Structure formats: C-alpha cells, structure tokens
Structure 1
Amino acid sequence: MPRSPLRVALIEAPFGPAAWPSIGTSLLKTRLQQAGHQAEVIYLSLRYLDHLGLDTLERLQRYQDICDSFGVHLGEWVFGPAAFPDAPWQETDPAYLQALERNGEAAAKCADAVAWRRGAANFIDAEIARTDWSRFDIVGFANSYSQLNASVALANRLRATYPALRLIMGGCGCADPMGYGVMRLCPALDAVVMGEGDDVIVPLAEALIAGVPANLPGVLERGPQRTIRSGPPTMRITDANSLPVPDYSDYYRYLPEGLRRALPFYIPVEASRGCWWGAKHHCTFCGLSPTKMPYFRKEPERFLSEIRALAAAHAPPRFMAVDNIMPHDYYTQVCPELGEASGGAEFFFEVKANLDRRVIETFAENAISQIQPGIESLSTPVLKLMKKGTTGIHNVYTLRLAEELGLRVHWSILFGFEGETVAHYRHQAELSRRIRHLRPPLGLVRCEVERFAPMYRFPEEHGLENLRPSRWYRYCHPAEAETLALLAYRFDADRSPERLAILDQIATETAGPVQDWRNAYAERSHRLVIADAHLVIRRVGDFQIDYVLGPVAARLMGDLAAPTGLAKIGVTRWWSHPSPYLDPLVSAQIAAENSRMRRAHEIDGTDPTEVFIQLLAHGLVAEEDGLAVALPLFSAPVVPRTEIPRALARQLSGITEGARP
C-alpha cells in the first residue's frame, strides 16, 4: 500500500436516482476506508437538483421522470453536448424529439429535457470550479441508469484541468463487454471495472497511484499510448457476509435543504446477490446478470445486524432491498425480526410470485409493505414462455392476498415473446374485468432485448434476427458502430411481418383494458368482498349486487381461501368439515351503505360441480387447469401503508427494476 492514505472521490452523476442513496458507491467508500484510505461520495445528482431549483417533492418528480426514461436515453441526451462538445449536435435535435413523440413520451418531460440540455455544460463547468479536485488522487464514476454522458463530461474536464488525477469507472453499465465500449468512448478514463468492485477497488486504486499494472479480474487499464489492457476474467464475490455496512452519510450531507423532510424515500440494503431461481431457470427476458447468476446470501443475523446499524444511523421510514429475489430462509428467520430491527420502518423486497398465504401474511405482519413478485403476466402459456416458474391463476391468488393484507404489489404485464398469441392477451383482458378490485399493473410493457438475457444469447429461438444496438443510442453517443455494439445494453431486432402484426394487435387490444383497470382501481369504484359466510357483495360505482350463497356455495368459497394456496377442483375433503377461513367483519357496514341500485342473485344447489359453474359464471372464482381461486376479498381491504410517486413506483416495477444501465 502507498505510504500515505489515498484520497478518493466517488461520483454519483445525473441522472442517477436522487430519492435514495447509492448502495454501490457507499459500499466502495467503506471498503476504501477499511483499507486506511480517505473516500467520499459526491452526489452530483443532488447538486443538479439544486442547480435546477428542484427543491420540493413536486419538482423532484420532474427529475425522476427523466430518470425513468432511460429506455429512450433521455438523460444521456441531456448531457450529450456537454460530454462531446465537438460532435455535430443540433441544439434541440428535432429528429430525436419527433422520435420521442412517436414513442408517446410526455411533452412536458421532453420540454424539461430540452431546457436542461442547454445548460448541461454550464453545470459541469460550475462543478469543476466549485470543488478543489486537486485534493483527490483518484476520481471514480458510477455508471448505471443514465449517468454515462454526465460522467464522461466531468471526466473530460478533469483530465484537461487536473492531468495528474487517475480516473476510473464502474457499475452495471460497464459489465463485460460493455466496459470496452466505455473505454473507447471516453479516452480520459484510466481504468474501467467490468465486474463487482468490492474486492478490486482497493488494489486497483493502489496500483494506479503506484504506476504499476493492476492485472485484476474484470479490470481494463490503459497501456502504452493509451491502449486498452485487460486483466483476468471477471470474478464474483462468494462471501456476502464479508460485505461491509454501507456508509450513507454523504447522501444526507448533499441533500438539498428543501427536500430533507421528504427524502430519502428508501435506504437501500442488500441481503443477497444473484438469483436462486435464475441459477436454475434463467427467465427469458432477464438481462440483470452477465453470469449464470450464482447465488450468495448474508446469514440472517448478519443481515439483521446491518438493518439495526442503518436504522440507528439514519432512522429511515423505509428500506429497499436491492436483491433480485429474497432468500428462502428469510421468510422465517428474518421477516419476523424486521420490525424490531428497523425501529418500525417499512420494507420493499422482490420475491417469487408463487408464494402461499402463510408467507404473504408473514410479510404483512412484519414490516414488509411493498413487494415485487415478478408477476409479469396472468397467462400461464406466456409465463411458460418466460420461464417464470409460476402460473396465471397463482398470480391472481397473489394479487388477491396482497390486497386483503395491505401489501402494495409492483408489477407490469409484459409482451413480446415468441409463441404468444393474441388469444393469450384477450384472456387477460377479460380476466381484468373481473378483478378490478385488485392492484392493477403499472402498464403494458413490450419486452426489450437486453444483453445477457436468453433472448439476446439465443435470438433465433425467440424469432429474432439482425440484433443491433437500440436506435436511441445514436442520438446520445457520437461513436462508430463497433463502439456502440460494445456499449449497448438494449438491442433492436427484426421480426417477421406476421409476428410484428401480432405484437401490434396485442398492444392495440390490451392497452385499453389495462388502462380501464388502472382507472377503476384508482377511483376505488369496484369492490368484491365476502360479507359473511353466505353473502358476497359486488360494488361497481353505485350499483350493488348481493350474491346469496347456499350451504354448498358457502363451503366452496371458504375452502378456496385455504391458507395452503390454490384448491384443486373436485376434492372430496371440501365437504367433510366446516371452513374456518371466512371473515365476516365487513357484513354489517357494507350492507348498511346506501346504494341507488341493488340486485340479488342466489347461488345454490347440491351438486358441487354445478355450484362451481355458477360461481365461475358470476365472476366470483377463477379456474385454470383444475386449480381455482376465490376472487372476493375475504376481509375488508387494507389501505397500503405507503403510497409513492408514480415515477418511483415505475422504477421499482416490472422490467425496469433495479440498477439496469
């Protein structure tokens, strides 16, 4: 190690998330400090809010809207001229703006981007003047979301003004082979880390200052004449317990005064890396990992001790787990302790969709208020194409349980998979009309081809030809085709005319029903609830239908709520004992509510099959391949404890989750 401590600045540039601190750079800061070096995280993203005057929660939403648009590279476009001032940019770039309009991007958001683009270079120049960068030996840049061009702009200015500085970059936008593209795009960089930085940040920093080759796994360095020299292949950490507790103090130091009462929305925490499901069955569309996703998790007590430390340091209202999926044993060994460990904070976790009632009840009873269960679809054939390991009927069951228990579910309906048909989405549209009392998807999302996903690695199997970098890259990065091919994370592809026609028909026929579902849920205009063992009440606006259940229908509805999960049709045990799972607590209050219109239906009979068909016809149950689920809520719906702005919800949901580049 060098004789004196190194001084390292870690940069979180726009348009990284501003509503919570960065776990990646905060972990690296702690690693450097543990090795005896000085390190700090500089949140240029928060300084940018100050620069733009976005000092209230409402104004912050405008920044978040740009963050949420990383699929069309809006944030990168804002900083394009600042990063590459010699490129032949147009001030407003009408071709790009027209493409955004055709893509359905909001006009107000695009107007902000145009205005902010004009001042982006001034912001970078101001930051160069604002900080005495000579007090650092190394400046490192995080590259995820839409941070690349802002980071390149600052790196270029630092190289010109402080030539002795060593400049490095890492993050998911630098994963192998994308790091080669980053090195070619930004000659100012001395090194790029293409894998996890936890075990390489210290030896890399020390080697750079010592002037010797680092030769570290997954690290690219500059060789003679600024050539690119690569080390051994990327390696992943194998001991999650060795990771330190992240130091988030710099986030609070940079947080604008006007946002201190509202932010952070979450404190990020990490229980595991990889995906235990993906290690066995890689989901068709998932490009979150460049490896085969080996799975490592922290020991339960190690994770709980980290929660206690972060709660004591920051007292956050909520924690957000950045894991791809919650570890199995956390259901029983961690969840019951979360409330106590966190001082009463709430939690967000990504989980598997096909959980039973006992697990979801454990979440609701123990501080977990938001989940992303990877629902993705309500069609079993489509879920099989995705290799999700769940079914449409079980996803409906999960939505119903979450609604009963007050859990907010983040999910989207994905489409764009080889083998799907219009009928698969007509089924979901029809089903959506029966479950408008349950949490709707955030939207209908056409699946993009992501690097590292099976759709990218085996395009022919998925009906894809002529893979090429997404068209949006060319508006933001003035690089030759070879560099863009290395840099790109998302790709366009050719499909047959017949397949394109099917995709257009799916989008046309499904978007409307999805929006109708969203509107109905937002207005709380649909209710479907078991009032007592013999009464189901459906409300649609001011119209009410009372379904009076006979003995067989009541027994059947009760057993369809069994805590072990979905029920098999025709099992004789249904008729051998009373069901203990009906909850009569809302009978009196709902029956007493005024209604302009009211109708009653009696559902009765002695033949279980005939009674089930009646329940199905009235939309009180759903059935698939011999499995059934009751659709009414078996208790009064609980209002979720946390409602968050829409852009933040979208960042937590569906295909856009996590730290994708």
Structure 2
Amino acid sequence: MDVLTRSATPRTAVSPAPADTALISMPFGPISMPSIGLGLLSAGLASKEIRSRTLYFNLKFAGRLGTERYIRISRYHPPYDQIGDWIFSAALFGDDAEATQRYIDEILKGRTTAFREGHYTNRPYPDEHIEMLLEARRLAPAFLEECAAEVLATRPRIVGFTTTFEQNVASLSLARLIKEAAPETLIVFGGANCEGSMGQALVRHFPFVDVAVSGEGDTAFPLLAEQFLRDGTIPLFKSVSCQDARRRRSRQLMAQPAPPVVMDSLPFCEYDDFFEQVERYGVDAGEVHWIPFETSRGCWWGEKHHCTFCGLNGAVMTYRSKSDQRAFDELLYLTDRYPNRAVQVVDNILDNRYFKTLLPRLAELDQEFELFYEVKANLKKEQLRLMKRVGITSIQPGIESLSTEVLALMRKGISGIQNVQLLKWSKELGIDVQWNILWGFPGETAEGYAETARLIPLLVHLQPPASVPPIRLDRFSPNFDQAEQMGFRDVAPYPAALLTYHALPPEAVFELSYYFIYDQAHWDTALGYTRPVAEQWSRWQRLHPAADLFFVDKGSALLLWDLRDDAPDHRPVTVLDGARRLVYLGCDAIRTAASLSRDLGLEEGAVQAALDDLTSRGLMMREGSSYLSLAIPTGVYQPNARVLRRVEQHLQRVGVAA
C-alpha cells in the first residue's frame, strides 16, 4: 500500500484523558524537535493545576505522508512559496479551481511572468514533487476530521494553537471544525504568526478564532486560561486580541499589560508528549535531532542597532537572559531527561556574560554536549575555543556579507575582515558555520560586490555560504517599517500568499503576511554588479570539498600548502622563513603593520614589505590597514582525505615520497 494512502490509525490505541486545555502543533511545523512554546505553556498550565494535553498533529501528518516526504515539504522549498499552507487552503476556503490552477502554474511550475525579475527566482518543481504535494492536499480534509475528533474526545474547554510560518492555514482549518462541532470551546491562537497586527487580523478575518495572543504568552496564556475556566471571561491584556462577543463578556474595561516574563521564573519545559507521539504515529525517530532550549530573549545588539533586514523579535527586542545557575540547571535537566539528543538553543544571540559564567562551568563537567547557538561574528579565538570545549559545534553568526560597506548599510557593527576571521577560526576548531551573503540593500555600490568577487577565490578553503539571495522584506524589520524612506516601492505580499488565501481581499492578505515583495530603483543595475559574486559562489561550492590552505610550522620555517586552485600546473607549496614567517604567524588574528612591528621587534618597513608580499600572493587578506593570514595551522585541524590525496599526488609529481 502506498505510504500516502495508508490508514492513519495509530499503532497503539490511546484512550484520551479529559483535559481542560488542548495545545496543538499543526503541519508544517518541524518534526526534528518539539515546540518550546508548547513545552513552556504546558508546564505553566500545570503550575496552576490546569489539566492540558499537547497534540503534535504535525507528527500525525508526517506519519501519514511518510517522514521523508513530510521533511521534503516542510524544509526544502522557499518559505515564501507557502507550500505547507497551500496544502490546507482548499480545506479552509473551498477549492477554487482557478486559484488552484494558478498556484500550480505560477508557483509550482514557474510559468508566471508576474514576479519581478531578480527579486523572486521562481524555479519549477519536478513533476513528481508536484504530484506529491497534490496528493498531500487531497489527504488534508480527512486528516483534519480525524484531528478534530481526537481533540473533541478530550472535551477541552480551551484549544490553543501555536502557529509559526507555514502552520497558519492548517491551524485555521482545524480550529473551524472544532468551533463548528463545539461552539462553546474557546479557540486561542499564539506564536510568531500572531505577532502584532497579524494576530489582530486573524481575529478580524476568522470569526471562529476567539483570541490571539501577541508576543510572549508565558504569563498571559496561563492567566487567560485560569480566568476563563473560572468564570468564562477573558483578561484583556494589551497583547490579547478578542472577538467582540468575548470582549463584552470580560469584566475588565481597560486593557492592561500582561505580567512581565521573568526569565529565571519560567518553568522547565516538558516534551514527553512529543516523544510519545513520535513513536505512536510511526515517525522515523532518526529524524528527531534536537531538544529546544532557551537561555535568553530579544537581542542585545538589536536593542542598540536594529539590523535593517531583521524582522525577528517583533516588538519585543529588549534583551533578557537567564542567570548562569538557572541555565546550567535547566540544560542538565533536559539532557538527563532526554538523553542522546543535540540541543538547539533558540536564542537570537549568545549572552556575552556566559563566556565568564555558564560556559566555563559546562566545560568543567565530564559530560559531552552538542549545542547550536546564534552568535555575533566578532568573537575572539579563545571564546570560540571555549565554545568548542563545551560542545557548541554549530553556530549561526549572522555574517550576511564580506563587504564592510554593505555590512554598514545593514547596521551589523562588524567588518568584512572580521567575518573572514571567524570563518577561518571556525574551520580550525571544527565548528560548523551557517551563513549567507545577502544583497539588494539601498545605498549599496557596485564596488562593494566587486571587492567581494575578488576576495572569494582566496576563501574557497573556508566554509561557503549556503546561498546568495537578495534581501527579503520581512514584517517588523526597519526596511519594512520605513519602506518608503528606504526606497522600497510597491510593497505587496508574495504571489503565493495571495493564491493561498484566495478567498480574502488583498489588503487582508497583506495584514496576515510576514514576507513581502517590492521594487527598487536600482534592481536592474544590482543584477549586473552582483552576478560575479553569484558566479564565484558557485565556484566556491564546487571547489570547497577538495580545497585547502594550511601550514605546518617547523620552527625555523613554515611550510604552507595552497590547494585552493584546481589548475593542473598550480604549485601548491610555499616556504616562509625569517620576517615573513613571524609576520604570517602574527596575523592569525587581525593586525596592523604598526602593531606587528611593536610586538615582533622588527622595523615597520620590513614588516610592511612582508605584508605586501604575502598579500600579493593571496596568502593574506588586507582591508584598509588591517591584515589577516588565511591559512589554517595544523594541529587541532587536520586536512580531510581528499586534500591529503592531492598533497600525495603533488609529492609524487615532484619525486618526493609521501
């Protein structure tokens, strides 16, 4: 029997226990880890002795589709195509044949002429992928009926949905069915899709959504649930949007702020329901990689200088972090309760205080961790070493560009040479770096990208960016909030959103959307001056697996292997001695000629001559008066097998035994 049409009957029958509140995660939420939002709310409700049950219907749909197919749909397409939402749109709005065919033609088959050239690359999906999406869409109505029956069997008085990115339409579809079957049930939406005006729009355009909670619901939702279960009214916090009927029933006439979230007072998350349902719904447990963990909220950099393209945090940018003791205790609790799982820290940025508090404490433990963190790229090498010792093996440093000029337009507060320094040290220490090169910023010049295109051939031994896309216009970003002043014209939802929410007027879709398309005066020229960067990026990806630039220091001489070029006549070996060796080693971190002269005790003229020679050979990077060696020292770092084969082949060509 085909996996798409097999029965959805759970492997093990479960008698639903009554619950005051049902908390729901719908497709296409990730199945690689549980929801930290629902984990926090479940624990918060328990602290008020409110019975709740968490239902991971994203796992249920993954079990129905097959894990691999679910992952292909949820992970491997641009988020602005909104494929996950479109799969459930007919169940919510009815199947409009014209809108369905337009989505297939314009989004899936890439036949549209409506998208603005250079801003939206609409590549066609393979026919077999399109058929998989259509079959998933056909399964949606029956799946939703089964989910509604499972929810109603627990007889909840409140049903809460978490909705982020492509969970909106599936959540709305199920909420409508529940409301039709049990009108007295309070339907509450929360999550990133409810932030600010988006939550208000959900309540305004979908009457079966009683309440939308914007922003942090950790204190607001348990208090809301407690009051509603007690007397049927709703506290009108400023972060809560309600249907008018519910608003009239409230005893509170003036909206008040919800009690503030105190980071150390948050409960420890419970994810038992998630792992029980992974097994029950037959999801491949090998694809469940992460335990989400939180040590801070907001962004300490964004508080001072909000990056122009960043739409994270919504209106709550204020940075708050847990004490090192609380973070320490919680991490040990989670890794003990859910062993053999990597930990994904969901913070927007690592608290710099932790380099002196939390991380040294973790490093002293006789315990291996596997952690992911988002960081700022201006880290020192000793900080990266400490992170590696702790088990932070993957980072997202927000590099975004190798051009200092473009980085200044973003308000990143960092230089291109600092970003390269981080990439170099991360390779040496074995830390994976997740990053992209962005373009299309108002005020950028062709020279910034020409310099990047000239630089990339020197960096092919370092980890390449995952992509080189134009910037998106995301809600809550300065670019969006100040679109006209920034030079963004004709701002509109992506075409996929208009076709997914085809029953709503365009202005309603605008209110619900997070991603937007736009025009800029310099698009045509930007396409030209960024093309060399895209071409060099493709070459970078091709060469990187067998490319390297490393050295072995023999004391009196430094033997440097340059395997960044795949030309057959390339001569990969350079020997550095005397001042050139000292200067090269001295530029492991970014240095100036004056500081090197002082520290090495050499004449500045001799230092500058060595810097000029090494830069001309492409062995160092120069930015203004700053220099950085690009080769990786062997020791902690060891070249991979493909690189070592190239070394051996060269030695054989010159008649030296390996």
Relative to the length of structure 2, the TM-score reads: 0.86
1:241 equivalenced with 2:264 (yes/no)? yes
- Structure 1 residues 89 and 45, CA, compared in 2 at 3 Å: closer, same or farther? farther
Residue of structure 2 equivalent to 1:23: 36
Partner of 1:527: 548
Q: What is the DSSP-based 3-state SS (H/G/I as helix, E as strand, rest coil) of the residue aligned with 2:31?
A: coil
Q: In structure 2, what is the equivalent of residue 65 of structure 1?
A: 75
Deviation (angstroms), 1:138: 1.1
- Output the CA distance in 2 between the equivalents of 1:420 and 1:235: 42
Could you report, residue by residue, the CA deviation over 1:28-85 in whole angstroms, capped at 9, with x for unpaired residues? 010001000111211111101111122xxx555424435x532221111111101212
- After TM superposition, list the pairs within 5 Å mapping 1:415-430 onto structure 2: 415-430=439-454
* In the alignment, structure 1 residue 220 sits paired with structure 2 residue 245: no
Please give the alpha-carbon distance, in whole angstroms, between the structure 2 residues aligned to 1:616 and 1:560: 12
- Separation in structure 2 between the aligned mates of residue 610 and residue 341 of structure 1, nearest angstrom: 48
**2:7 maps to which residue?**
none
Question: SS where residue 517 of structure 2 aligns?
Answer: strand
**Residue correspondence of structure 1 range 104-503 to structure 2 within 5 A:** 104=123, 106-107=125-126, 109-209=129-229, 210-224=231-245, 232=255, 237-256=260-279, 259=283, 261-291=285-315, 293-338=317-362, 343-477=367-501, 478-496=503-521, 499-503=522-526
Q: Distance in 2 between matches of 1:225 and 1:608?
A: 75
- AA paired with 1:480? P
The structural deviation recorded for 1:545 is 1.4
> Secondary structure of 1:153's partner?
helix
Distance 1:537 1:275 in 2: 41
CA distance in 2, matches of 1:170, 1:339: 37
Distance 1:134 1:548, change over 3 A: closer
Q: What displacement does 1:99 show?
A: 4.1
Q: Deviations over 1:357-378 (max 9, x none)?
A: 1111111122110111111110
Hey, what does 1:516 align to over in structure 2? 539
| Residues in 2 aligned to 1:173 and 1:479: alpha-carbon distance in whole angstroms | 17
The 8 Å contact of residues 555 and 574 in structure 1, kept in 2 or not, is answered as: no
Amino acid at match of 1:299: S
SS at match of 1:437: coil
Alpha-carbon contact 1:238-1:296 (below 8 Å) kept: no
For 1:136, the aligned partner's letter is: P
Alpha-carbon separation, structure 2, partners of 1:640 and 1:266: 29
Measure how far apart 1:421 and its partner are: 2.0
Match of 1:96 in 2: 107
Which amino acid is 2:244 matched to? G
Work out whether residues 293 and 345 of structure 2, in 8 Å CA contact, stay in contact via their aligned partners in 1: yes
Name 1:635's counterpart in structure 2: 634
How far off is 1:405 after superposition?
0.3
Between 1:93-102 and 1:402-411, the stretch displaced more is 93-102
1:81 to 65, 86, 90: 90
Aligned residue in 2 for 1:608:
607
Asked whether the equivalents of residues 461 and 547 of structure 2 are also in contact (C-alpha less than 8 Å), the reply is yes
Aligned residues: 600
Distance change (3 Å), C-alpha of 1:224 and 1:65: closer
In 2: Cα distance, 1:244 partner to 1:340 partner:
26
| Amino acid across the alignment from 1:525 | A
Change (3 A) 1:367 1:180: same
Q: CA deviation at 1:86?
A: 6.3
RMSD: 2.7
**Against the structure 1 CA distance between its residues 213 and 125, is the aligned structure 2 distance closer, same or farther, given a 3 Å change threshold?**
closer
Query: 1:569-580 to 2 correspondence within 5 Å?
Result: 569-571=593-595, 572-576=597-601
* Letter paired with 2:52: A
Q: Which amino acid is the alignment partner of residue 233 of structure 2?
A: V
- Alpha-carbon distance, 1:305 to partner: 0.2
CA contact (8 A) 1:415 1:444 kept: yes
Alpha-carbon distance in 2 for matches of 1:310, 1:168: 28
Write the distance in 1 (CA, Å) between the matches of 2:85 and 2:70.
18
Cα deviations across residues 548-584 of structure 1 (Å, max 9, x unaligned)?
11301000001001xxx4111233224328xxxxxxx
- 1:287-313 C-alpha deviation (Å, 9 max, x unpaired): 112226111100001001000111111
Distance 1:147 1:157 in 2: 16
* Deviation (angstroms), 1:426: 2.2
Distance 1:452 1:151 in 2: 23
- Over 3 Å counting, the alpha-carbon distance change for 1:640 and 1:279 in structure 2 is farther
1:50 to 58, 63, 66: 63
Distance 1:110 1:381 in 2: 42
CA distance in 2, matches of 1:78, 1:105: 17
Q: Tell me how far apart the structure 1 counterparts of residues 265 and 246 of structure 2 sit (CA, whole Å).
A: 38
Identity of aligned residues (%): 30
Residue 650 of structure 1 is matched in structure 2 by none
User: For 2:135 and 2:355, how far apart are their aligned partners in 1?
Assistant: 48
CA distance in structure 2 between the aligned counterparts of 1:130 and 1:143, rounded to whole angstroms: 19
Normalising by structure 1, we get a TM-score of: 0.85
Contact 2:109 2:123 in 1 (8 A): no
**1:326 and 1:351 in contact (8 A); partners too:** yes
Separation in 1, partners of 2:255, 2:625: 53
Structure 1 position 487, deviation (Å): 1.1
Q: Is the 8 A contact 1:415 1:445 kept in 2?
A: yes
Q: Could you tell me whether the CA contact under 8 Å between 1:81 and 1:89 is conserved in 2?
A: no
**Are the equivalent residues in 1 in contact too, given 2:292–2:345 (CA < 8 A)?**
yes
Instruction: Give the distance between the partners of 2:247 and 2:605, measured in 1 at CA.
Output: 83
CA contact (8 A) 2:196 2:314 kept: yes
1:622 equivalent in structure 2: 621
Structure 1 residues 24 and 479, CA gap change in structure 2 (3 angstroms): same
Q: In structure 2, give the amino acid aligned to 1:239.
A: V
The C-alpha deviation readout for 1:241-284, integer Å capped at 9, x for no partner, is: 11111111111011147655414211111000110000011001
SS of alignment partner, residue 421 of structure 2: helix
C-alpha change, 1:238 and 1:29, in structure 2 (3 Å) is closer
Residue segments in structure 2 that go unaligned for 5+ positions in a row:
1-17, 113-120, 641-658
Q: CA deviation at 1:637?
A: 6.7
Contact kept in structure 2, 1:196 and 1:236, CA below 8 Å: no
**Residues 638 and 61 of structure 1, relative CA distance in 2, 3 Å threshold:** farther
CA distance in 2, matches of 1:261, 1:430: 45
2: CA distance between counterparts of 1:635 and 1:79?
53
User: Residue by residue, what CA displacement relative to the aligned partner does 1:607-648 show, whole Å, maximum 9, x if unpaired?
Assistant: 32222111111111001021111000022574899xxxxxxx
Q: Deviations over 1:405-426 (max 9, x none)?
A: 0000010001110111232122
Structure 2 residue aligned with 1:35, among 19, 23, 48?
A: 48
Measured against aligned partners, the alpha-carbon deviations of 1:119-140 in whole angstroms (never above 9, x if no partner) come to: 2112212322445435211111
